[in-house]
Structure 1
């Protein structure tokens, strides 16, 4: 097994451990290491097969599927066996649980008093729902929220805005008003204790932006990616020791890559600022090997106001990064060198890249390199091309319509939370099948398989997007398909590649 695959397995192990520790461990008393070991068993089994049998030995379908099936069942059983039972489980909100929304509401706050409103306050609450916008039928007190259920009598946007203004004028900032899809054609309102109200001074005092930390991580990541970039520029460690100034050659990789990542994250950040969503500055993750970084991230510290904001913030990142990555990739391909296609040529071999694994990359390589790119050729990527190529791959990864990835937010905003969870399950299955076709995708498939598939609801999670945003969302999903879709043989023949 090549060193790159070992490093990928190591990175996957670190990511999966952090995911388990941050999410699932809050639901169960099962030891973190046991859940993590179950998570990692399938990729480890596949890696051992390649070590023992060799990479050229075809993997039987039963051997490939068995670890995933067994470990998925075992993973679920371990979580259920050690599941933490809160004292309020008997009165859990059935409607919210039915829609997969109990957890996000519970994360905001819990109502300790079983009857938090006085009779007078409940009377005032009922007046917040004019019959012309929402005919209120019942007020139920739940551990996570006060549910107001009834029948919508106008369009969702008008209803939410009217009820929200009335609740704020009556209760101030005591509650957050959440408007969610319930049973078909029966959306419901939920009043959730507001953890960001003015009385919570400690939360407001929490530092949101840490520019020194963000700048330090950026500089460290610039160094690690520049060091890695020397390898892409074919500079050996001995050459670097003899002439340290050769480190500058790595900037051809590090600067374009960090530019792509920066535009991606600051696009998220700018959209968040536009919608007054509290968020941190982008933080880069340095890594002293492989690609030199594991990307960057921002943290959102307040709920999304509506599905329109959820869409715009999610859409801005991957599309902003792609707009920068595409010209860099074209420029880098012009500087790259076609080399003979070998058995080791793959989508992870930057010195012998076979772009035919992707419809988008295969066609782009043909258009850029012209007649130099023939059926017998692969591409030795220039460092700029490596950065642009990774930018395209990062775009595809983020556009996957699963959970809290940008693509998951996009389909949630387009189709609603319940439909988005179904789309996420289908996407996981497709990636798993694609992983059997291209072994390089298997780690990606495992990562998606165990990623939580539930996205947090927006405050107004009922009002749908307009046609323009729906069109942009479909365009982004089409881009994802073009990047991941293998180049059909007929198209390759027609293009003579």
Structure 2
């Protein structure tokens, strides 16, 4: 019970930060009111759990109607207080609207002047991209016309012409409008201006190895303490005076927590290193991977990197996005198989849950069931559940992290992957369908309800690549489809026909 309410508290904090970051600048409706509406389903479920206990599940009508009403009310309040700046208003009123231009900071360099329009038009040869009209915005210049050659060739040639005429004053963005016609956008290159005005010593502080190492040590400590409890060792309340010191001074106790800690940190670290190294390959400025330590729950909220320069094209967007889940999954597989082979087989009981490592039913996931049968063989039967070894717990969490990141929604890795594969317009539709399907799945499997709520309010639009029109090659399309197939075999339960064939 205490764990549930702690989780609701963390979910509330994450939701507030998400609302503040994504919509606070485009609506006058108070952030706290939007947050309260979003959290209403979670509050209702918490109240139900407090009154009736965790053994009695809430009625489906309560879940469905609370989600429906909160979504409708959120949208109404958002639209009621929506701001309409002059440039945004002009964009929404124009026919053949295009994906919204991402907001940027006030430009340090001066925008293009009308007197420079001739130079700008000369950058667009008629045989490459025939410019029909130019729209001036406070922080962007939009060039619309007809594409007359391959998108990759057009972008590269026009980019070269822009740099020859204007230097590094602008970033050139190539996007596809909602009407299917590609258009160019020139936005001030504030990053180049900042670098020009920043001493070299400060520019090199983008990667902070000292901070990254400190967070690694702190996360190793917190995950080790959680791993000790997963191993079945009872710890005294760590806030008591001297309790933490006693635990840290006992190597035998700490050693029992290391398998979980090292397994989980390896999976998360390799995941982020996949993103980081691929970003460095494409010369995208990014920070080192940073872990987030917490002294409870899983011992960490994961790890992250921040990219500080635009992604050049959809190929780079795809490679950077898929590198993390792919690298993390490759490491997860051997750890999970080894951990499952050293786990105990127990009987299915009322305590058997998807998120209960002491009595986990492997048939809740197709992939987990197949790996469990591979590792345990005939020991696993139709009436078996698993008491997971700490390494298996880390591997199972690796599967969850992989699946969550592969969800094809917005800013998640999966959202970037489908964006790179199908373009931003189609990715928005896929993201909306994925959110609805996960919500329907949550009605059957309550463990997915929190995921469904988080994804329901996650923005569907991510930041476009500079060349967001050139399509991927067939090999990357196939790899992307395999990644979506991996997501499906992780989150869907094992069909009964396959379970009968495997005798589990």
In the superposition, the TM-score normalised over structure 1's length comes to: 0.94
Hey, what's the Cα distance between the residues in 1 that align with 2:271 and 2:483? 14
Hey, what's the Cα distance between the residues in 2 that align with 1:4 and 1:370? 34
Per-residue CA deviation, residues 222-257 of structure 1 (Å, 9 max, x unaligned), is 100000000111111269958822112100100111
* Residues 92-171 of structure 1 mapped to structure 2, 5 A cutoff: 92=91, 98-102=97-101, 104=102, 106-107=103-104, 109=106, 116-119=112-115, 121-171=116-166
For the structure 1 residues 180 and 96, does the alpha-carbon distance in structure 2 shift closer, same or farther, using more than 3 Å as the test? farther
2:97, 2:179 within 8 Å by CA — same for their partners in 1? no
The offset of 1:468, in angstroms, is 0.4
Per-residue CA deviation, residues 273-326 of structure 1 (Å, 9 max, x unaligned), is 111111111111111111100101111111110000000000000110000011
Of the three residues 361, 370, 377, the one matched with 1:354 is 361
The answer to whether structure 1 residue 247 and structure 2 residue 234 are counterparts is: no
- Match of 1:329? 336
The offset of 1:196, in angstroms, is 1.5
The offset of 1:179, in angstroms, is 0.4
Hey, what's the Cα distance between the residues in 1 that align with 2:425 and 2:447? 31
* Residues 15-414 of structure 1 mapped to structure 2, 5 A cutoff: 15-92=14-91, 98-102=97-101, 104=102, 106-107=103-104, 109=106, 116-119=112-115, 121-198=116-193, 201-202=196-197, 205=202, 207-237=205-235, 244-245=250-251, 246-414=253-421
Runs of 4 or more above 6 Å deviation: none
Of the three residues 483, 492, 496, the one matched with 2:499 is 492
- Match of 2:434? 427
Structure 2 residue runs without a partner (length 5+): 237-242
2:109, 2:189 within 8 Å by CA — same for their partners in 1? no
Hey, what's the Cα distance between the residues in 1 that align with 2:482 and 2:80? 43
Deviates more, 1:410-419 or 1:91-100: 91-100
Hey, what's the Cα distance between the residues in 1 that align with 2:96 and 2:257? 51
RMSD: 2.2
The offset of 1:53, in angstroms, is 3.3
For the structure 1 residues 369 and 464, does the alpha-carbon distance in structure 2 shift closer, same or farther, using more than 3 Å as the test? same
2:98, 2:179 within 8 Å by CA — same for their partners in 1? no
Hey, what's the Cα distance between the residues in 2 that align with 1:373 and 1:390? 21
Hey, what's the Cα distance between the residues in 2 that align with 1:216 and 1:166? 46
Report the 3-state secondary structure (helix = DSSP H, G, I; strand = E; otherwise coil) of the residue aligned with 1:189. strand
Structure 1 residue runs without a partner (length 5+): none
In the superposition, the TM-score normalised over structure 2's length comes to: 0.93
The offset of 1:112, in angstroms, is 10
- Match of 2:464? 457
